[in-house]
Amino acid sequence: MSLSRSFLLCALLSLWSLGAGAQTRPNPQATGPATKVKVKIKDKAKAASYADSVKFAREHYVIDRDSAYIDPRVGLRKLMGGNRRFVENKSIRPRQDRAALLNVEKKQKPFAVIVGCSDSRVPNEILFDQGVGDLFIVRTAGQVMAEASYGSIEFATVALGTKLIVVMGHQSCGAVDAAVNRPEVPGHIIALINGIKHAAAVSKDQPGDRLDNAIRENVLEQVAELRDLDPVLSKKFKNGEIMIVGAVYRLHDGHVEFLPETLKNLPAFRVAGATSAAEQSIKH
């Protein structure tokens, strides 16, 4: 899939569509027309030539993080824009200084949860060109999930209010390779193999590179797993309060492909109403 085509995948968001105005902030109290927002860019002089360009900001979806936090559709576009900057070697590296760190010392509002692999070659903030406090990251080899992972993701959605969840696999994943080619492994690595075993089996009959197919299938199955996860995520997803999508990171060129299968037929987004007593107790 070409780089330009990938960034058009947002057209597949159906009822989640952002509409024609890329630089808009959704009204959290209504489903009517969105209102204009001012693009706010804070970065060092090195990136000023990029960030000060209205055309650059529009094409690379440089927009304030609050809009991305409010609306997961905006958050998804923000991640896509950040990855495009990374691929083009035009990263602006927002909120990556000491001031940004101190600013989130007492409170965090990450606009996206990234459920990804522990692989050292997948630096999330760098490849999405985001900063301190932007991403809530849950990492295990092969992004295989269990109770601790589920709880971490639920905590982000309930306590922190994060509405966008991205399950991201990556090219040349060692855990998936082990599931495909090494059925016998030592120690607790078997827990990873068991979690990926079905995806590895499905990929056997698919055309093309088996490892690449297994990596993609693994992400698709994990997205489905989270969408059906009771009692928190399944309800929020079906109600349109959160968005759960899948992606694969390509090591050879730095591009993140958001899988079109996970962008279709999404529930219409709506802002959640009053939080439950249980959620309030966690937040406070």
pLDDT category of residue 14 using cuts at 50, 70 and 90: very low
- pLDDT-derived band at 44 (thresholds 50, 70, 90) equals low
Q: Are 64 and 51 in contact (CB under 8 A)?
A: no
Instruction: Say which range, 32-41, 66-75, 184-193, has the weakest mean pLDDT.
Output: 32-41
| Bigger pLDDT: 31 vs 210 | 210
| DSSP code per residue over 180-228 | HH-S---TTHHHHHHHHHHHHHHHTTSSS-HHHHHHHHHHHHHHHHHHT
Mean pLDDT to the nearest integer, 104-110: 85
What are the structural domains, with CATH classification, of the chain?
Answer: 3-283 (3.40.1050.10)
Number of residues in the chain: 284
User: Lowest-pLDDT range, 8-12, 40-44, 238-242?
Assistant: 8-12
For the chain, give the percent of residues with pLDDT over 90: 65
Question: Can you tell me the mean pLDDT for 198-219?
Answer: 96
Per-residue confidence band for 46, with pLDDT thresholds at 50, 70 and 90: low
Look at the block and give the residue holding tokens 């993609």. Answer: 216
List of residues 6+ apart from 252 with CB closer than 8 A: 171
As a whole-number percent, the residues of the chain with pLDDT over 70 amount to 76
CA angle 203, 209, 211 (to 5 degrees): 60
Helices 210-227 & 189-203 angle (0-180, nearest 10)? 110
Taking alpha carbons only, the member of 283, 271, 269 closest to residue 76 is: 269
What phi, psi does 249 have (nearest 5°)? -95, 130
Query: Cis omega before residue 231 (within 30°)?
Result: yes
**Residue (of 23, 21, 114, 129) closest to 67 by Cα position:** 23
Instruction: Give residue-wise pLDDT tens across range 180-204.
Output: 998 789 999 999 999 999 999 999 9
Cα dihedral 4, 5, 8, 13 in deg (nearest 10): -150
For 4, 56, 111, the CA distances from 40, given in Å and listed in that order, are 25, 13, 16
Lowest mean pLDDT among 93-107, 143-157, 200-214, 216-230: 93-107
Q: Is the whole-model pTM more than 0.85?
A: no
